[in-house]
Amino acid sequence: METTLRGVGVSHGVAIGEVRHMGTAVLEPPAKQIPADEAPREQARARQAVDAVANDLIARGNLAGGEAQAVLEAQALMAQDPELMADVERRIAVGSSAERAVYDAFASYRALLANAGEYLAGRVADLDDVRNRIVARLLGVPMPGVPDSDEPYVLIARDLAPADTALLDPSLVLGFVTEEGGPTSHSAILARALGVPAVVALPGATELAEGTVVAVDGSTGDIYVDPSRDRRAELAKAAEERRAALAASSGPGATSDGHKVPLLANIGGPADVEAAVKAGAEGVGLFRTEFLFLDDSKKAPSEEKQVEAYRRVLEAFPEGRVVVRVLDAGADKPLEFLTPADEPNPALGVRGLRTLLAHPDVLRTQLTALARAAEGLPVYLEVMAPMVADRIDAKAFADACREAGLHAKFGAMVEIPSAALRARSILQEVEFLSLGTNDLAQYTFAADRQVGSVSRLQDPWQPALLDLVAAAAEAARAEGKSCGVCGEAASDPLLACVLTGLGVTSLSMGAASIAYVRATLAKYTLAQCERAAAAARATDTAEEARRAAQAVLSGE
């Protein structure tokens, strides 16, 4: 008999297939004492295993490219963290085996993060994966991972490590469902990049029996267990209609009555450019530059290296708009040479623009590199600062851009509620706003974006979040300036219509979502989008907001 479960849909599409579970293994090594004369050998084994795992993560990243590469390189840095390695060697020196020392050292660090209120919960999940990989190598056992199957299947897991998600084969993995995670977790972001239907934060997902047939709707978050024939036909019809709409969709983003809404791509580096161009992106709305800073946690990349990487992206969009976010370091993206190691709440400390203003040489080099990269190119370069809190921040960034000789528009990201509430003040210093809805939701609701248990508060349909978007968009309109959205909210086709109705002037998303958003926007007039936005804001919950907008757009 068909039953329905509901999680959080994070990647569009429908998948129907048999359940296969992510492989698991007991990776807690026995606690045994080793003779003192074996300590040097055990320490060498630990170092070799750590280096091998780090190299493997980097190799996987090179294969995956794009955002996945940045995530996996960050994990490699975590594996080789000097403080963790020092703790491992200390434990071995007092009698632990290499595998037990790694297990205990990582457990100790994990406990510190958990006790800090899980502000780094996303890093905790990555930390567990790194630990498992190192311990598995030391024990000489296979690393738990994606099941071996010749037939396509729906993958079920408690959570998916980035190293596994990045290299999923879409021809075999029809979709995936996880018990943990949230709409802005690493796995969710990578699923969208892969174009694989995915649902996260589904309680009891791992209790689904191996071989059970399920239908996964990555748009709604619904999981149909043992779907009926009628349900399968309904989902197949919806999927076919979606494919037809996507095939018929082309050209610039616009509503049915011709109101233009440029559809831009979020990219994590040059490797993402090809997919963005192929998807018909009208430019880049968020060029994350962190990938350049992950190769060496001890120093910033040279100006020459930055110029080369930036120019590769700028050349791909002649006469297009490319919005570059300067380095967003801190919180879940720590860099040894920049970010403090002892902050009690890193997400509320020195991160984003605050980090760069504390290290003006790093900011100056990046801005100078961007200026050089754009020389002679017919591209519309725009540069924005992350984590702008007020007009003082905005002025400091604009001044730095001018001092670096940067001929571009300067903008501010709206990720802190104060920036949305005082957007008109900030716009006295900069020329555009870009809403980062992931962090804006995190700070509005005090809900960590990586923690599955608070995922409902990370839902971009939350009316309070829509209110802040509306406030920023209205301020930009009053000042005659632009206000885009580059957070994951823009990748939801229905929500894209609502954002347009709120006054947002451009939408930026992963390349895989552009066709969905373009096709959906083209079905409705601007007036319909405005009515849907008003209806959503008049509700009290995310689910009510979604239903209200859907009702308006479907003419109910």
DSSP assigned state of 291: G
Query: d(Cα 40, Cα 114) in Å, to the nearest integer?
Result: 32
**Catalytic entry in 186, 359, 483, 497:** 186
Please name the residues in contact with 86: beta carbons below 8 A apart, sequence gap of 6 or more. Answer: none
Pairing of strands 8-11, 198-200: antiparallel
Q: Look at residue 88 in the predicted model and tell me its pLDDT.
A: 94
**Strands, sheet with 173-178, edge to edge from the N-terminal-most edge strand:** 3-6, 222-225, 213-217, 14-21, 153-157, 173-178, 198-200, 8-11
Alpha carbon distance, N-terminus to C-terminus of the chain: 31
pLDDT at 535: 98
Backbone dihedral region for residue 544 (phi beyond 0: left; psi -120 to 50: alpha; all else: beta): alpha
How far, in Å, CA of 544 to CA of 535, rounded? 9
- pLDDT tens across the length of the chain (556 residues): 889 999 988 888 899 999 998 876 546 888 888 998 999 999 999 999 999 888 888 887 777 666 677 777 777 888 888 888 999 999 999 999 999 999 999 888 877 655 544 434 456 667 788 888 898 888 887 666 777 778 899 999 888 777 777 667 888 899 999 988 777 676 777 787 777 899 998 998 989 988 999 999 998 899 999 999 999 999 888 888 777 777 777 889 999 999 999 999 999 888 889 989 999 999 999 999 988 887 665 788 999 999 999 999 999 999 889 999 999 987 666 677 777 767 777 778 888 999 999 999 999 999 999 999 999 999 999 999 999 999 999 999 999 999 999 999 999 999 999 999 999 999 999 999 999 998 999 999 998 766 657 778 888 999 999 999 999 999 999 999 999 999 879 988 999 999 999 999 999 998 888 988 999 999 999 999 999 999 999 999 998 999 999 999 988 7
Encoded amino acid at 368, one letter: T
DSSP for 167-212, written as a single string:
T--TTTEEEEEESS--TTSHHHHHHHHHT--EEE--TTGGGSPTT-
What is the structure's pLDDT at 116?
46
Q: Give the number of C-alpha atoms closer than 13 A to the C-alpha of residue 507, restricted to the C-beta side.
A: 33
Q: Compute the distance between CA of residue 102 and CA of residue 145 in angstroms, rounded to an integer.
A: 20
407: annotated active-site residue: no
Q: Which of 401, 486, 497, 529 is catalytic?
A: 486
Q: Which two tokens stand for residue 387?
A: 């984590």
Residues near 178 by Cβ (< 8 Å), separated by ≥ 6? 156, 157, 158, 159, 160, 187, 198, 199, 200, 201, 202, 205
With residues binned 3-state (H G I as helix, E B as strand, rest as coil), the percentages for the chain, rounded to 5, are 50, 15, 35
pLDDT at 112: 67
* 186 is a catalytic site residue: yes
Instruction: Report the alpha-carbon distance of residue 244 to residue 373 in Å, rounded.
Output: 40
Tokens of 416: 């802190």
Contact 43, 238 (CB under 8 A): no
The pLDDT value recorded for residue 126 is 73
Q: Which amino acid would we find at residue 507?
A: L
Closest CA to 519 of 10, 2, 6, 12: 12
